[in-house]
Amino acid sequence: MFARACRRATCFTRPVVISRRYFDRSTDCGCGAFVVINDEGWIVTAAHLLSAHNRIQRDTEEIVEHYHTIHTIEQDEGIPPTEKYDRFKRLQENPKWITNLSYWWGMDGVQLTDIRPLPEGDLVLGRLSPFDRNAWPVYPVFKSPDDLGVGTALCKIGYPFQRVNAMFREANNSFELGPTVRTLAAFPLEGLYTRTLHAGKSADGRYDIKFLETSSPGLKGQSGGPILDANGTIWGVQSRTDNYAYGTVARVEKDGREVEEDQCINLGIGIHPELIVRFLQDNGVGFSLSDY
């Protein structure tokens, strides 16, 4: 049912790999997805994928303050050595302060510029730079938000179940991604459009924040990827997964005793096409809109 849509989606959907190095010198990688909108290199994705930018700014401030405190103690000649030692021991280090951060936007040497976020809607636009138009044979069509039929079969595309590793090279202060990043495969997951969720207004009052709910969860690695109908038209962009209790429990054994666990359903939540279309229009980003 979605074979044609998946073939089409892989022409404009790519993985984004987030590499982080921490204060304790460990590294890890996260994976999401993004959609290229037009031949000017504009993309749309989930805003929370860029949250590490804010995190590293906060962490950098804390690291600077940490070393400033150490320097102040070291330079204070009025403090006995034993007391200095005690003060150093009391200092709080966070081994998971982010010290280095890198985003890989589907190909080497590409950066995201002109970033325009709408955090209340988990929505962000940006431009790939440099942008090679020849690398993108097809651009997406976004669903007209005027007529969304509950029960329509939809499909999420992203990059879950991936193992991406990165090494940090001290010599040139950069990450080196492992070879698996070259073979990341898009993974589809179908579900029905169930309802629209309303989340109030944006902080500036300009936008009604809406989300599109589907009957299957969004998987880790699908955030920022498209939610498509059978024609390959984008109905939304995957944002998160919500879970709801059925109101029933199951009895399971844990640590040698029987306990009750709530039974839950996991539902995928996407950025609503009405919000995407309005935000694209307000930012002067060209895109194609469906005639249905």
Find the helix or strand (DSSP H, E) in which 131 lies: none
At 90 the pLDDT is: 86
* Helix or strand run (H / E) with residue 93: none
Question: Which pLDDT does position 160 carry in this prediction?
Answer: 96
Total domain count, the chain? 1
Tokens 């942008």 sit on residue: 131
Phi-psi category of 104—alpha, beta or left, where left has phi over 0 and alpha has psi -120 to 50? Answer: beta
pLDDT band at 179; cut points 50, 70, 90: very high
Q: For residues 81 and 272, which has the higher predicted lDDT (pLDDT)? A: 272
pLDDT score of 252 more than 80: no
CATH of residue 199's domain is 2.40.10.120
pLDDT at 33: 99
Would you state the pLDDT for residue 104? 98
Helix, strand, coil percentages (3-state) for the chain, rounded to 5, are 25, 45, 35
Do the Cβ atoms of 104 and 16 come closer than 8 Å? yes
Provide the domain limits for residue 283. Answer: 3-289
Q: How far apart are CA 82 and CA 84, in angstroms?
A: 5
pLDDT value at 168 more than 80? yes
Mean pLDDT for the chain overall: 95
Residue 253 — pLDDT band, cuts 50, 70, 90?
Answer: confident
Residue 22 has pLDDT above 80, yes or no: yes
**How many alpha carbons lie under 13 Å from residue 194 in its C-beta half-sphere?**
13
Task: Say if residue 124 is exposed, middle or buried (CB neighbours under 10 Å; 0-12, 13-18, 19+).
Answer: buried
Separation in Å, CA 192 to CA 101, 148, 224, 238, 269: 37, 12, 18, 14, 12
pLDDT in tens, 182-204: 999 999 999 999 999 999 999 99
Cα–Cα distances (Å) from 109 to 113, 126, 130, in that order, read 13, 16, 8
pLDDT score of 243? 94
Residue 79: pLDDT over 90: no
pLDDT at 228: 98
Say which residue the tokens 């404009």 belong to. Answer: 12
Between 84-98, 104-118, 151-165, the lowest mean confidence (pLDDT) is in 84-98
Question: How many whole angstroms separate alpha carbon 56 and alpha carbon 200?
Answer: 29
Report yes or no: 69 and 91 within 8 Å, Cβ to Cβ.
yes
Question: Which residues in 20-40 are b (16+ Cβ under 10 Å) and which e?
Answer: bbbbeeeeebbbbbbbbbbee
Q: Which helix (H) or strand (E) holds 270?
A: strand 257-271
Percentage of the chain exceeding pLDDT 70: 100
What is the CA angle 61-28-105, rounded to 5?
90
**Do β-strands 42-46 and 27-36 pair in parallel, antiparallel, or remain unpaired?**
antiparallel
pTM metric for this prediction: 0.92
